[in-house]
Amino acid sequence: MSNFFDTPIEYLKGVGPAKADVLRKELNIHTYGDMLSHYPFRYVDKTRFYKIREVTPELPYIQFKAKLVDKGVVGERQGKRLVATFRDDTGQMELVWFQGLRWIDKMLIPGADYVVFGKPNYYGSKANIVHPEIELLKDHRDELATSLQPVYNTTEKLRSFFLDSKGIMKVQRQLLSAAYADIRENLPLQVIEKYKMLSRKDALMQIHFPADARMLQRAEARLKFEELFLIQYKLLRNQKERKLKSKGFMLPRVGTHFNAFYKEKLPFELTDAQKRVLREIRQDTVTGFQMNRLLQGDVGSGKTIVALLTMLLANDNGFQACLMAPTEILARQHFDSLTELLEGLPANIRLLTGSSRSKHRRELQEQLADGSVDILVGTHALIEDAVKFKNLGMVVIDEQHRFGVEQRAKLWKKNINPPHVLVMTATPIPRTLAMTLYGDLDISVIDELPKGRKPIQTIHQYDSQRLRLFKFLSEEIGKGRQVYIVYPLIKESEKLDLKDLEDGYESIVRAFPRPEYQVSVVHGQMKAADKDIEMKQFVEGKTHIMVATTVIEVGVNVPNASVMVIENAERFGLSQLHQLRGRVGRGAEQSYCVLMSSHKLSSDAKVRIETMVRTNNGFEIAEIDLQLRGPGDLQGTQQSGVLDLHLADLAKDQRILQEARACVQELIEDDVNLDKPENLPLKNYLKSTAKRSYNWERIS
């Protein structure tokens, strides 16, 4: 019965086509297997009945017994609702429905006794329950009630098909009693034994119907492990396969391009970390297989020069290279700084962005096709099918998280063999996340800043201390430095934000009057050309202050800027704050980051600001970000689909992830194709789920 889990859910006793249809539409549950992995999202003590007097809005799900004393539909249109009052011997409470009014109204019999189950909310200062589950007391059977009864996510639609949490519980019970004997193990036996884990069938049984808290915990641990194990297996197997299969171009020669730059032009000595990463890249590119490497380095750690040297290495071996950046500003800036670095050298470097003119494009296309362009810098305009290289051998992607997987995959097809890929990210990613999101990439880390940098000092100030801030800024400007002042820009309220920025701009111009001071301004609603002009003025030191929204977040490099003021700092996420701070501290001067905020701070905002004040270490900040926000919100995770985890939480389950990955590594070393008898359960399981799983190929 290998396909038991693929059985359509409608074949289960008590489900049938109509319920199956809503389950598919509402919860994406198609099969027995899908149903079993619709895990409870919490458990409640169903052996306990509360008294109405005891019920407070702070309580989680609860149940009580009470009599229906009154009911009626009130309100109009959106506000239309059914309100029913229930009473027991300690007090009374209102239950409210906004949907399915007619149907529920019919069920409610005044004077009858009910069992009510739900999550109390605030209603003014009192408690009420919106959309509770109710059942006539005379129909209530509680012989199955346990202290850990599952509560399932459901929807109003499902409820009207009798699939409220309790209805789903019944389906699960039915399914488990039918399926239990057929649930096969999918992990290798030695792994189960090593970690003394529950078998798969017991874990599934216990997660839905735990015998006690300890069993529940073991069930969760087992299923989390399984989830992470399967992901890691797919990632690491892919990596191994790709290493063995995808032929890569050989770049054995360090020739004139590389050497001329390294010996004559390199303006500083590379840090040990930069040298190490270059060695890693060189090793990758002489194996005959395609390189897929993630380069992580904190802001300012000097990734650009590594990218350049890598591209020159490709040039030396007769290949073209490209560098792709997420925004026009950044692409341009890379182009400008690389052009400057390469001045006097024969490398032909060109720029292509969305706003490149068609004449320029045509000319460029020709030069790309005849091989006379060595390095092409650009935005995702590079990916377009019309852009054809003669011989693309190296692709560098900056700020990788801004590109989707598909976009990246297109680059692979730009040559007979896939070009080598170096993906750079300036937002350090916590280890566990990197292992999962980029588990099939090799990872290099630049964990050292260039010598002579003074750590940026970060200060938190309240809005009321603005005069002090202005005094400080004028002192810095007096020393010849430049200043950024950044305002938040959140899409939903762009207008409001723009107003903040405009008001801020005006007060700054008042405090820093012309002609003594010059102020630039850049925001998302400006034309690209105007942005460029303003930006350029600041880069060239013609203006002292740059007032901007977060468009300057990524990569902008003005070494003479020594102060970053972030307005409404409480509205920014940690990684964004860190990115912004990274715009200063790029020269030899002492730099500062000033976080301005109101006095009203949420506890998370406090942690973010305190973290920024305490540390400059991007990896540490990334870990805290992960703890605060959970992986779902971190950059890059949404696009990947890799984090479609039911149970495991990358912030909390780091240990399990590490164990799972270590097990998989051993397994892959030992038996990559799962031919040994002890690995057969896994092999069979993967086969049976293959058609449902993601396309794991070419995720980089």
Shortest Cβ 324–ligand ADP spacing (Å): 14
Q: Using CB under 6 A, which of 208, 242, 257, 303 touches ligand ADP? A: 303
Q: What Å distances lie between residue 101 and 77, 96, 191, 552, 679, CA to CA?
A: 12, 10, 52, 51, 54
Which partner from the list ligand ADP, Mg ion, none does 297 bind, CB cut-off 5 to 8 Å by kind? ligand ADP
Residue nearest to ligand ADP (CB): 302
Residues 6+ apart with CB under 8 A from 505: 519, 521, 547
Shortest Cβ 538–Mg ion spacing (Å): 18
Residues 6+ apart with CB under 8 A from 31: 5, 6, 7, 8, 9
Give the separation between CA 450 and CA 458, rounded to whole angstroms: 20
Residue nearest to Mg ion (CB): 555
71 versus 586: smaller Cβ distance to ligand ADP: 586
The site for ligand ADP, by CB under 6 A, has a size of: 17
Q: Which stretch binds ligand ADP (CB under 6 A): 250-258, 301-309, 325-333, 611-619?
A: 301-309
Helices 603-614 and 574-581 cross at an angle (nearest 10°) of 30
- Cβ count within 10 A of residue 522: 22
Q: Which stretch binds ligand ADP (CB under 6 A): 127-135, 265-273, 415-423, 432-440?
A: 265-273
309 versus 469: smaller Cβ distance to ligand ADP: 309
Q: Which stretch binds Mg ion (CB under 5 A): 174-182, 365-373, 374-382, 552-560?
A: 552-560
Q: Is 555 in the site for Mg ion (CB under 5 A)?
A: yes
Give the separation between CA 540 and CA 543, rounded to whole angstroms: 8
Which partner from the list Mg ion, ligand ADP, none does 321 bind, CB cut-off 5 to 8 Å by kind? none
Site string for ligand ADP, 584-603 (x = CB under 6 A): --x-----------------
The site for Mg ion, by CB under 5 A, has a size of: 1
Which partner from the list ligand ADP, Mg ion, none does 302 bind, CB cut-off 5 to 8 Å by kind? ligand ADP
Which partner from the list Mg ion, ligand ADP, none does 270 bind, CB cut-off 5 to 8 Å by kind? ligand ADP
Q: Using CB under 6 A, which of 172, 290, 304, 315 touches ligand ADP? A: 304
The two tokens of residue 13 are 């006793």
Q: What Å distances lie between residue 232 and 391, 432, 551, 627, CA to CA?
A: 34, 11, 36, 22
Give the separation between CA 8 and CA 16, rounded to whole angstroms: 10
Q: Using CB under 6 A, which of 116, 230, 291, 305 touches ligand ADP? A: 305
Which partner from the list Mg ion, ligand ADP, none does 586 bind, CB cut-off 5 to 8 Å by kind? ligand ADP
3-state SS, residue 508: helix
Shortest Cβ 400–ligand ADP spacing (Å): 12
Q: Is 504 in the site for Mg ion (CB under 5 A)?
A: no
Q: Using CB under 6 A, which of 300, 439, 488, 618 touches ligand ADP? A: 300
The two tokens of residue 583 are 């715009």
**Binding to ligand ADP, residues 407-436 (CB under 6 A):** 426
Shortest Cβ 317–Mg ion spacing (Å): 25
The two tokens of residue 156 are 């109003």
In terms of phi and psi (left: phi > 0; alpha: psi -120 to 50; beta: otherwise), the region of 239 is alpha
Q: Which stretch binds Mg ion (CB under 5 A): 90-98, 547-555, 589-597, 607-615?
A: 547-555
| Sign of the CA dihedral with 654 first, then 656, 661, and 666 last | positive
Q: Which stretch binds ligand ADP (CB under 6 A): 37-45, 303-311, 415-423, 545-553?
A: 303-311
Going by C-alpha positions, the residue among 641, 638, 636 that lies closest to residue 429 is: 636
Q: What is the dihedral of CA 111, 117, 118, 124, to 10 degrees?
A: 30
Cα 318 to the center of its chain, rounded Å: 37
Q: Which stretch binds ligand ADP (CB under 6 A): 55-63, 264-272, 357-365, 430-438?
A: 264-272
Shortest Cβ 608–Mg ion spacing (Å): 23
What is the DSSP secondary-structure string of 292-330? EEEEEE-TTS-HHHHHHHHHHHHHHTT-EEEEE-SSHHH
Which partner from the list ligand ADP, Mg ion, none does 271 bind, CB cut-off 5 to 8 Å by kind? ligand ADP
The two tokens of residue 243 are 């290493």
The two tokens of residue 185 are 């193990």
Report which residue type is found at 547.
V
404 versus 450: smaller Cβ distance to ligand ADP: 450
Which partner from the list ligand ADP, Mg ion, none does 334 bind, CB cut-off 5 to 8 Å by kind? none
Which partner from the list Mg ion, ligand ADP, none does 305 bind, CB cut-off 5 to 8 Å by kind? ligand ADP
Where are any strands of DSSP class E within 500-649? 519-522, 545-548, 561-566, 592-597
Which partner from the list ligand ADP, Mg ion, none does 301 bind, CB cut-off 5 to 8 Å by kind? ligand ADP
Q: Which stretch binds ligand ADP (CB under 6 A): 112-120, 174-182, 295-303, 514-522?
A: 295-303
The two tokens of residue 563 are 């102060």
Which partner from the list Mg ion, ligand ADP, none does 498 bind, CB cut-off 5 to 8 Å by kind? none
**Binding to ligand ADP, residues 266-285 (CB under 6 A):** 268, 270-271, 274
212-215 long-range CB contacts below 8 Å, 24 or more apart?
212/148, 213/148
Q: Is 450 in the site for ligand ADP (CB under 6 A)?
A: yes
Q: What Å distances lie between residue 19 and 13, 172, 462, 591, CA to CA?
A: 11, 14, 56, 63
Question: Which chain residues interact with Mg ion by CB under 5 A?
Answer: 555
Question: Which chain residues interact with ligand ADP by CB under 6 A?
Answer: 268, 270-271, 274, 297, 299-305, 426, 450, 557, 559, 586
